[in-house]
Copies of this chain bind each other. A is one copy, B any other.
């Protein structure tokens, strides 16, 4: 899956390495009663992804050998204000670090490698296995996170799709898959009790060498018990096959070649394949390409170094040099098509881009899908673009993007080709997995051989039998906020939600330690609630009430605890403010005894 970082982040700057100043409040392990070893059993645990089961990380365990597939991150939900991202919870692996034989990386999207800098360090740097581009992107992420950390990294490079790797009791082999990034790879994990086929993210496509449709019939030969774990995001997508990649490129190329002015293409920084193809096309018709967006430039740089994007050195220019060329000879490929506030496309629209100004006859192309949750932001982005430019093209009006994922038909087709003994749909919300299970039954897989798991579910295979344990591994969210990993919990989040809804109301009172009488003025500091300056009456009445609360609370007993007075103020003033405003600011009394 290609999800851009859809919130402002400061994670791209090098770290000072002091990211452990917080107490690392590891979530309490819920898996105490999970047996430590899996004697003569294959155990599989999807560990990471918010609602998407297994998307970020999956653990395979056979006796004292553990192999991990992917170490990705998720971006936060709406009810997690201020959180940068979420990484998989690795409580299950605690105490088993020495058993980890390797970490397979299926491809280089952030939801599959983005947590590697944090988790590899925590797990003592087990060896990482992947193809070149995936490994290169992972290294870059690690260096961004903490300079010098790659010196600890051990890698095993997949030289050829026919490579075989032994990791303890696991034998690993590979197969080609099509996805929206180079070097995506499917994996086969062979163990004495079960053989797992896992393509990672995939879509139907062509074999890059033979140029024929990729098929998976060869995987039918994997010996039984043959367990297929299949990304099933498209399980409800029953529309006829979307536009082909060829048709999409035809559209893009037509738009680019016919453009009267500058062409601006907004896409995901992870769409490296598409970016590469566009660069090569631009070169062919004699246009220049300027890339903009940190992660996009970085990704293309890495792809160029590996020879995956071939461009003459004159084709790629910097945005600073755009003005040197006729407008209709330039293409800008940039990030920000999700409406991220500080990304390139937003800056272009708001006239805050130093080198790119949009004109009416320019062409702006959204070569991207809408990530759920970003709909309204993107609507606003489009509004503003339509105001500036007569040629705004997006998927509502033309096929200028195709998904890197399968649809319902593809899922059925692959099931028919591979004929698994067991089917575990993964990498999607529960309801998609249930729908994928229905598809599997349609093509004849028996209901009892299909397992819809949750994150943390533990499934064990032994003697051709599968069993889901009652106990689950801990997958409570580990949220990263700034330099803190896992230190923001429900209390902090709830406070942020309350603060965000109606603001805060701080009451500072000096009390005479002995008489418990108010000394001087009560001070009210309020933010996000109302304009205190315009509501003197309310503030004065509140102060009078506070004085009365203190008098009532202390009149009979001057040794009453400060905390007790504070609680009284919080409750009564909270109610009073609500009765006057129907708002519930967080009321924080600070009493200082003098």
From known contacts A236-B396, A431-B385, infer whether A81 and B530 are also in contact, taking CB-CB under 8 Å.
Answer: no
Q: Is A380 an interface residue (CB 8 A)?
A: yes
Does A583 sit at the interface, judged by CB under 8 A? Answer: yes
| Cβ 8 A contact of A495, one of B375, B508, B520, B528 | B528
Among the 9-residue stretches A21-29, A166-174, A213-221, A322-330, the one with 4 or more Cβ atoms under 8 Å from chain B is A21-29
A: contact size bracket: 35 or more
Give Cα distance in the complex from A382 to B493, angstroms: 24
How many angstroms from the CA of A82 to the CA of B525 in the assembled complex? 19
Count of identical protomers in the assembly: 2
User: Is A283 in contact with chain B by the CB < 8 A criterion?
Assistant: no
In the complex the two chains form, is A383's CB within 8 Å of B430's CB? yes
Partner-binding segment picked from A203-211, A265-273, A302-310, A478-486: A478-486
Residues of B within 8 A of A496 (CB): 499-503, 528
Question: In the complex where A501-B496, A527-B499, A580-B483 touch, is A519 in contact with B594 (Cβ < 8 A)?
Answer: yes
User: Which of A65-73, A188-196, A585-593 contacts the other chain?
Assistant: A585-593
Q: What's the Cα separation between A387 and B372 when bound, in Å? A: 22
Is the beta-carbon distance between A383 and B594 smaller than 8 angstroms? Answer: no
A534 to B25: give the CA distance in the assembly, Å.
9
Query: Residue A469 at the B interface, CB < 8 A?
Result: no
A538 at the interface (CB under 8 A from B): yes
Q: How near does chain B come to A17, taking the closest CB pair, in angstroms?
A: 13
Q: Say whether A82 contacts B386, CB under 8 Å.
A: no
Distance in angstroms from A186 CB to nearest chain B CB is: 26
Q: Is A435 on the interface with B (CB-CB < 8 A)?
A: yes
Q: How far is the CA of A10 from the CA of B489 in the complex (A)?
A: 28
Closest to A588 in B: B525
Which of these, B386, B500, B531, B590, contacts A590 with CB under 8 Å? B590
Smallest beta-carbon distance A259→chain B, Å: 18
B residues less than 8 Å from A491 (CB atoms)? 531
A503 touches B508 (CB 8 A): no
A131: shortest Cβ distance to chain B, in Å?
31
What residues on B are CB-neighbors of A382 within 8 Å? 429-431
Cβ-based interface call for A373 (8 A): yes
Given A22-B534, A501-B81, A501-B496, residue A383 in contact with residue B483 (CB < 8 A): no
Specify which chain B residues have a CB less than 8 angstroms from the CB of A430 in the assembled complex: 382-384, 386-387
A397 on interface, CB distance cutoff 8 Å: yes
Contact call B499/A504, Cβ cutoff below 8 A: yes
**A508-B590, A530-B488, A530-B492 known; A583 vs B503 contact (CB < 8 Å):** no
Contact with B along A497-533 (1 / 0, CB 8 A): 1011111101010100000000110010101111100
Whole-angstrom CA separation of A491 from B525 in the bound complex: 15
List 5 interface pairs A-B (beta carbons < 8 Å), by A numbering. Answer: A77-B376, A373-B373, A386-B430, A499-B527, A508-B590
Q: A78-B377, A379-B429, A496-B499 are in contact. List 16 more A-B contacts (CB 8 A).
A: A22-B581, A23-B535, A81-B501, A82-B503, A236-B396, A375-B375, A383-B429, A383-B431, A386-B430, A483-B580, A484-B583, A499-B499, A499-B527, A519-B594, A523-B590, A525-B588
